[in-house]
Amino acid sequence: MNVFDIAYEYRNFFLSGLKYTLLLAVLGVFFGFVLGIIVSLLRMSKWWILRFIATAWVEFLRGTPMLVQLFLIHYGLPEFGLEFSPIQSGAITLTINSSAYLAEIFRAGIQGVDRGQVEAARSLGMRQGMTMRYIVLPQAIKNVLPAIGNEFITIIKESSIVSMIGVADLLFEARSVTTITYEGLNPLIVIAVMYFVLTFTLSKILGILERRLNTDDRR
């Protein structure tokens, strides 16, 4: 069977895998976004213990392979009474890994906001929390939006590791098709094209969004 026959005849396998790949990527980036903001704020806290915890979080997650993190969560935590399904383990792993990188992105964005705006807000009577919420964070997120998009693209590609614990994502379904057809190469070509279409389309959408934001700034 050629690659087109494989793609058509086993389309349900590939579409099912695509569903789980996108689900895990969206969950990983969304919750990683929230957790990343929290970690970035902790890294800039005036309390050294909070800075230490946040720094340790970022350095450990950036300094260890995601596959090791996945195995620690899925196979290690049950020894302490915490057991998750494969999908839950995959989502948790992608979330915490993404949070470490997004935390650094947010920290750079927050530190890049003009200090004069912060001082102006404080002079108007706004408390530190209000200043961060209404003045600093909106500008910081807008400035680092391209980097957030790049992290989303990275998570889509790296989500393939969840097939190692039995999540039926694109790579898992490609292996299933290989088992049925004894075709080793063609199923991989199909999912490679699907990954490329996903990431290429997303990068183009992000490019359009970035240009629109730049146009609004010039206005």
pLDDT in tens, 163-179: 999 999 999 999 999 99
Q: Which residue has the higher pLDDT, 124 or 65?
A: 65
The residues near 134 (Cβ < 8 Å, ≥ 6 apart) are 121, 126
pLDDT score, position 147: 86
pLDDT score, position 218: 58
Task: Return d(Cα 80, Cα 196) in angstroms, integer.
Answer: 39
pLDDT score, position 65: 95
Residue 97 has pLDDT above 90, yes or no: yes
Rounded to the nearest 10 degrees, what angle do helices 86-111 and 48-63 cross at? Answer: 120
C-alpha radius of gyration, the chain, whole number? 21
CA atoms within 13 A on the CB side of 52: 3
pLDDT in tens, 35-88: 999 999 999 888 999 999 999 999 999 999 999 999 999 999 999 999 999 999
pLDDT score, position 157: 92
Task: Return d(Cα 75, Cα 81) in angstroms, integer.
Answer: 11
pTM: 0.89
Domains and CATH numbers, the chain: 3-218 (1.10.3720.10)
Task: Return d(Cα 154, Cα 44) in angstroms, integer.
Answer: 26
Residue with tokens 């399904």: 85
Q: Give residue 206's pLDDT band: very low, low, confident or very high (50, 70, 90).
A: confident
DSSP structural state of residue 76: I
The residues near 26 (Cβ < 8 Å, ≥ 6 apart) are none
